[in-house]
Amino acid sequence: MAGRGAELYGHAAEDAAQLFYERRGGRVVARRARTAAGEIDLVVAEGAVLVFVEVKARRTRAAAAAALSPRQIARIGQAAEIWMDAAGTPAGTDLRFDVVLSDRDGGIEVLENALDFSA
């Protein structure tokens, strides 16, 4: 998948992820939030928890999972810190980092607490 088709596919996967969180009561506070460290696909408020969501879309969900590199995981953590500083997020806010895997048929798998930055 290359070019505009891949971009549209990625946006459709983000749409599906957003719908998932909204259906269970989450409120999307940012989508494709750009920071100096990179983009955050979704930032969702679920009650008192702020959820940073990375959406990966590939032919299969396994391929989507494999596309998440250690370098990208580090970038997500840095981008979240920058976003929280810019948004004035209070210290001590409960955070969660989820990954949403999407396949070419539009199916998604949500991995809650998939990334851990507490160390």
10-residue mean pLDDT series, the chain (119 residues)? 62 92 97 96 96 94 92 92 95 94 92 80
Can you give the pLDDT at residue 33? Answer: 96
Give the range of the structural domain holding residue 47, as residue numbers without chain letter: 3-111
Residue 60 sits in a domain whose CATH number is 3.40.1350.10
pLDDT value of position 11 = 83
Q: Is 16 exposed, middle or buried (0-12, 13-18, 19+ CB in 10 A)?
A: middle
Query: What is residue 6's predicted lDDT score, i.e. its pLDDT?
Result: 65
Asked, for residue 118, whether it belongs to a domain, the answer is no
Tell me the C-alpha distance between 2 and 82, whole Å: 29
pTM score: 0.90
State residue 108's pLDDT score: 93
Look at the chain and report how many structural domains it folds into. 1
Q: Does residue 91 form part of some domain? A: yes
Task: With respect to residue 98, please indicate whether it lies within any of the assigned structural domains.
Answer: yes
pLDDT of residue 7: 66
> Do the domain assignments include residue 83?
yes
For residue 66, being part of any structural domain is answered with yes
Q: Does residue 58 lie in a domain region?
A: yes
Would residue 25 count as lying in a domain? yes
